[in-house]
Structure 1
Amino acid sequence: MKHRLRRWARGVAAASLLPLSVQPAAANEQPLPTFGGPGGGLISEQQELEIGQQVLRSLRRSAPQIRDPLTTDYVYTLMHRLLPSVPLRDRDLTVILIDSPNLNAFAVPGNVVGINGGLFLSSTSEQQFASVMAHELAHLSQRHFARRLEQQESAAPMALAGMIAGIVLSAVTKSDIGVAAIAGTQALSIQNMLQYSRAHEQEADRIGMQIMADAGLDPRGMPAMFEQMMEQNRLQGNYVPEYLSTHPLTQSRVADTWARVEQYPDNEIPDSLEYHLVRARMQAHYTVPPATAVGKFLELRQRPEGEHNPAIRYGLAVAYLADQQPEPAAKELKGLLSEHPGRITFQVTLAQALLKTGQPQEANALMQQALKRNPDNYPITDMLAQTELASGDANAAAAALKTLTRQFPEREQLWLRLAEAEGQARNIVGVHRARAEYEILMGDLQAARRQLLEAQDKVAPGSPVHQTVTERLHAVSNALSRQR
């Protein structure tokens, strides 16, 4: 059975995968690699990476994502704080944020971690939020997914593609619906694969708490988060949050984590302000209609502690923006900036408000100044591109977006926005090249090839751009040949 599963893994991977780390033609290009490599156990690390890439493409095509740069930047910053303490050989990790208010997080082979926006709603502290991330990183470091596959060796064979589909569907729906959508006898096997064993959960708890302690965070956030989950589960009655369906949680496990955490010093570690700002942003995002969010934050703002709580005031500003009230949002944000000069989150959100009040030049000047103080900052550069487009300078917008695609070539929405900016700048070759990179990330190599052929046809033969496009086209064509 091991040999058969290896053949399935290689067959599925070779049929449809392109690596996320492939750089765009505008950067220092590396050829698209041929898959394969050394085995290792029932499922090798190389095969895990290939699975991860297919999961990412499926999520890009199927799952609603949080594309907000401020939220994304916070999560990646926290992840990079944790990563040095994670016992992973390969720390090239991808986080995907699912736009859902439900509590869920997951880790899949290939160093992919998924987090629902609802985790911000369910956690009341940064320590609790970080504990879930640390727990998922621990699962990755111990290769629990591959170990579960080893344990399932005596069960009915399970095609790797079906397993991936189950993971993807469980990430975007309730897990029972995700499993039921997969025909045949694979469903039970996939359900078993998605549900970690008690031993694996305890191991991830232990390693996750150590990761937190080594990263300068409070491991007590983990049992506190577990208690929060159990309380929410009790309040929700028969509905079991998806996270608890795949990460079984019992009172004894909570007690075990409280006992384990006693080995760590009882140091009170304060949350960062940024966590509470992003949490308020997510609270406003998931409260509908927006007028309800305005009312809730106004009520909090009017309490004695609300006047001096920047997260509450910021949440009110974000709610105003969602409710199409940019003027009071800008007023609130200017007040926050006077008390917190240079705070990137306030600056970027104020630029958003200025755009909505018809002041693109003022928004652009604000972002230009902010970028000088914070070179290459993702949220600032992203908002700068928006202000450049609103100001009528599509070339400058495209330049800003090119900077971002070099920094984050795996973020497909940046390539779409670059294509739009290049179109407004009348750079048709740039449009085709950006669209090609988007199609590669989405897994449509035929569409990518068509875009590159269009680009090749529109540049002078022998020019540097023609050579770059031709090399990229050759790499995509080779990948297509391997699919056949």
Structure 2
Amino acid sequence: MHSPMTRHLTLTAAFLALVLGLATPAMALFTEVTVADEAEMGREFHQQIVKSMPLVEDPMITGYVEDVVQRVVDAMPPQPYRVTSTVIRNGSMNAFAVPGGYVYVLTGLMLNLKTEDQLAAVICHEMGHVSQRHVAKRMEDMELASIGSYVGLIAGAFLGATGGENNRNLGQALMMTSQAGAATAFLVYTKANEVEADHVGLTYLVDAGYRPQALAETFQIMLDKRWGMTGNKSLPSYLSTHPAMSERMAYLRLRTKELPPKALAQRADNSRFLRVQAVIRGNLSDPTASLAHFNSMAPGDFTCLDYMSHGMVLARVNKQAEATHAFERALECGGNDPLVLREAGGFFFRSGQFDKAEPLLKKALVRDPTDALTLFYNARLLGEKKQFPQAIKTMRLVLKEVPRDAEVHYHLGRLLGESGDLFAAHLHLAYSALYGHDIGQAKFHGKRAEGLARTPDQKERMEELKEEMKLYADA
């Protein structure tokens, strides 16, 4: 009989083989996978995601997704672990949840859905897989497996996600590897798993107060978008590992019709979803696809958010005059909206038009004093005026909201350097490079900071940096 420690090491070794794309000899997998095992595997997997994938740091987006996930979780039976959400910047229409309660939503999914109800529907389906422990049960069906087939099992359960263009190591970690080979067909979610996740997910959706029709609607959108998606070569579509979608939509519609009128009438307020979607389309999506979207719209259909989002895309492709016009149109109809003010002010700041940017960003700050990006631009404005103490104080407030944001660390480092605090400057530039996956530059600034460390506090902060660098060293 294997001890709990041996069991844990075996499962963790298998999981790390998944994450690192390692090939090892055949290994026995145990016939029981406990909740503790799931939690540990999920934690190990999440560490690799954080190290390797381009994560969205904007609290407006991450906070919104967290709220939707939490609303779903609150409608579920109590779970044995805390559910956490992460937003990945990738154009694939995809989402997945892994053992241990880790939920991942890709920006491509949010961009191509129409309502919060539909986003919640996908999350509910994925949480159905987690709550019913489908991955663990599939593992328990296999008394012996090679690491390759174990990789196939986990990869199939994680919706066949691949990270190829984003990160070579993560691509090895998540893709359906050749090692999985013939085992793949057996190892992906079974039809019974999918049907159960559909039915359990629909129950969660209704109990959370969302529109029950949204689950079938979302599957239909995925079918319609299947051949027309752009800018998402690094991850396959949701449908790639969720077969028989048409059949499942049919029975979901039948079940939905049987629900009471009160359930059929409920729906989410869509305002936050549309605001988040506008930011994703403007700043985080493939610009060619975003421009095609706006070019297909009739001029009379543009909202203030559309003008703003269009301006953001135009700025990204260096069409400054057209971007200026779009932002001016956005300000005409949405001049009191802190999001429009923030994005317009940010555009004028990046264009060097500080006199235009300052009143917009100050007004945005008054209307939403906690918005991290508004604080970020105001801190940079203060830096341009050489008001370094206030600029640094403001940028540190931003850092509390987004502690792993490479750009925030970079600009804080610059401000600290200009103010004369060279140790802290190099420290934050090291963190910036680290979170930007430039290990060489991180080591360079880390050595410079270490050479300047004199006080016990500075030496302690150096040790914290070294520990963080160890986590990223193999990413």
The 5 A counterparts of 1:240-251 are 242-251=237-246
Tell me the percent identity: 22
Q: 2:254 aligns with which of 249, 253, 259?
A: 259
CA distance 1:181–1:422, shift in 2 (3 Å): farther
* Superimposed CA distance per residue, residues 135-176 of structure 1 (whole angstroms, 9 cap, x where no aligned partner): 223333333333322223344455978977886983325999
2:386 maps to 1:430: no
Determine which structure has greater relative contact order: mean sequence separation of CA pairs < 8 Å that are 6+ residues apart, divided by chain length. Answer: 1
Give the secondary structure class of the aligned counterpart of 1:460. coil
CA distance 1:276–1:2, shift in 2 (3 Å): farther
In structure 2, distance between residues paired with 1:447 and 1:161? 33
Give the secondary structure class of the aligned counterpart of 2:308. helix
The 5 A counterparts of 1:76-475 are 76-87=66-77, 88-100=79-91, 102-156=92-146, 170-173=161-164, 182=177, 184=179, 186-189=180-183, 192-193=186-187, 195-233=188-226, 242-262=237-257, 263-264=259-260, 265-267=263-265, 269=267, 271-283=269-281, 286=285, 288-289=287-288, 293=291, 297=294, 300-303=297-300, 306=301, 309-337=303-331, 339-340=333-334, 342-389=336-383, 396-411=390-405, 414-434=408-428, 455=449, 457-462=451-456, 465-466=457-458, 468-469=460-461, 472=464
8 Å CA contact retained: 1:69, 1:382:
no
8 Å CA contact retained: 1:455, 1:469:
no
In structure 1, distance between residues paired with 2:363 and 2:11? 50
Cα distance, 1:346 vs. partner? 0.9
In structure 1, distance between residues paired with 2:205 and 2:11? 34
Whichever residue aligns with residue 297 of structure 2, its letter is L
TM-score for both structures, normalised by structure 2: 0.74
In structure 2, distance between residues paired with 1:43 and 1:395? 54
> How many corresponding residue pairs?
446
Give the secondary structure class of the aligned counterpart of 2:209. coil
TM-score for both structures, normalised by structure 1: 0.72
In structure 2, distance between residues paired with 1:338 and 1:217? 34
In structure 2, distance between residues paired with 1:63 and 1:336? 33
Whichever residue aligns with residue 213 of structure 2, its letter is R
In structure 2, distance between residues paired with 1:363 and 1:176? 41
Alpha-carbon RMSD: 4.7
8 Å CA contact retained: 1:6, 1:43:
no
Give the secondary structure class of the aligned counterpart of 1:358. coil
Cα distance, 1:106 vs. partner? 1.5
8 Å CA contact retained: 1:59, 1:168:
no
Number of the residue aligned with 2:27: none
In structure 2, distance between residues paired with 1:408 and 1:165? 29
Number of the residue aligned with 2:22: none
8 Å CA contact retained: 1:169, 1:178:
no
In structure 2, distance between residues paired with 1:180 and 1:474? 31
Cα distance, 1:86 vs. partner? 4.1
Whichever residue aligns with residue 133 of structure 1, its letter is I
